[in-house]
Each structure stands twice: as structure tokens, then as C-alpha cells.
């Protein structure tokens, strides 16, 4: 995908269906992982409003009018922020876009006083785990069960943010 055809913008509530389609596309690589439109993933129905309500932000990447990526972050405690979602269409793997999107959240969190950025990732998403580790996140011993239809168990990853660091 050529960068001149790519457009990054804030996520909108009207992106709901496109967000569901993107995440369903991503989950297709993993047996037993499903999107719960009326369950655990219901926040996507009004994701911009949900993020605004918790002091967060979200960005999407579009190409030729098709939503191809989502990243979002939000504060969870004083000086502690969370990378809430990162989804990238398979055709963008290896393009550097995920690194750019994570850098946006890191910069935004740091500019809001965060010293720590955490994320949770399904134990099955091994490719994502390697990416997060390359981006400076460290897998913790902590796990959590989501009690969802996918029987998700997630690993916690944490990145310490230094004021002079760019990503």
C-alpha cells in the first residue's frame, strides 16, 4: 500500500461496522477467536464516544476508503496508560504502519504524563507478542481470563516510558 493513498484520522462512532470487519479479518487467523458484537466487543459500536468518555484517543488508517488499521489508548491510573487496541489488516504486515501507530500512542501517553504504558494480548497472538517485544514492551507474569466466547487468556506487557525516548 503506497503511503500517499493512506490516510490516518481519529476513529469515529460511524466506523463501527468497519471496525468489526477489520477485527473479524484479524481474528480469522486464529481458530476459536470470535468477535462478540453484543458482548465483550460492544464498545466498538460507539468506540469514539467510549474513548472520549475515559479520556482516551483512537486512530484509524484508511486506504481508498477502506479501514485498514486501528490503534487506541487511554489512561488507567495516574501516570499509567494502556494501549487498548491495535489491529492491522494482514496486507499491512511488515509495512511499518503498526510501529508508527504504536509510536503515536506512546507519544500521546507521554505528553499526558504517562511513565508506563501497558497492554494485554491474547496468549494465541504470538506474532503480536514478538512485535510488542521489538517495540520495547516486556511481557509480565500476569495473565487474565476474559470469560468470553473465545475463552481468552491474555498476557500483560509493560513499557516504561522515558521522557527522552521517541517510541
Q: Evaluate whether residue 110 is within a structural domain.
A: yes
Strand pairing report for 80-88 and 153-160: unpaired
For residues 138 and 156, the answer to whether their CB atoms sit within 8 Å is: no
Q: Evaluate whether residue 89 is within a structural domain.
A: yes
The model's pLDDT over 113-156, given as tens digits with 9 standing for 90+, comes to: 999 999 999 999 999 999 999 999 999 999 999 999 999 999 99
In the chain, the number of structural domains is 1
Q: Which domain holds residue 16?
A: 3-160
Q: Evaluate whether residue 125 is within a structural domain.
A: yes
β partners of residue 120: 156
> What's the pTM?
0.91
Q: Evaluate whether residue 165 is within a structural domain.
A: no
Q: What is the pLDDT of residue 1?
A: 43
Q: Residues 112, 12, 59, 43: is their CA dihedral positive or negative?
A: positive
43: domain CATH number? 3.40.630.30
Q: Evaluate whether residue 150 is within a structural domain.
A: yes
Mean pLDDT, the chain, whole residue set:
94
Model confidence band, residue 17 (pLDDT cutoffs 50, 70, 90) = very high
- 167 has pLDDT over 90: no
Amino acid at each position: 500500500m503506497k503511503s500517499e493513498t493512506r490516510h490516518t484520522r481519529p476513529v469515529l462512532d460511524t466506523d463501527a461496522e468497519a471496525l468489526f470487519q477489520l477485527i473479524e479479518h484479524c481474528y480469522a487467523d486464529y481458530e476459536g477467536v470470535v468477535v462478540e458484537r453484543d458482548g465483550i466487543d460492544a464498545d466498538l459500536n460507539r468506540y469514539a464516544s467510549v474513548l472520549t468518555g475515559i479520556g482516551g484517543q483512537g486512530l484509524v488508517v484508511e486506504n481508498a476508503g477502506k479501514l485498514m488499521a486501528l490503534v487506541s489508548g487511554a489512561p488507567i491510573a495516574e501516570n499509567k496508560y494502556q494501549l487498548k487496541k491495535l489491529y492491522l489488516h494482514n496486507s499491512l504486515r511488515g509495512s511499518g504502519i503498526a510501529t508508527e501507530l504504536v509510536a503515536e500512542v506512546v507519544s500521546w501517553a507521554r505528553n499526558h504524563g504517562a511513565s508506563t504504558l501497558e497492554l494485554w494480548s491474547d496468549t494465541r497472538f504470538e506474532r503480536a507478542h514478538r512485535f510488542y517485544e521489538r517495540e520495547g514492551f516486556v511481557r509480565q507474569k500476569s495473565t487474565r481470563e476474559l470469560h468470553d466466547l473465545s475463552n481468552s487468556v491474555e498476557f500483560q506487557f509493560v513499557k516504561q516510558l522515558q521522557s527522552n525516548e521517541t517510541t
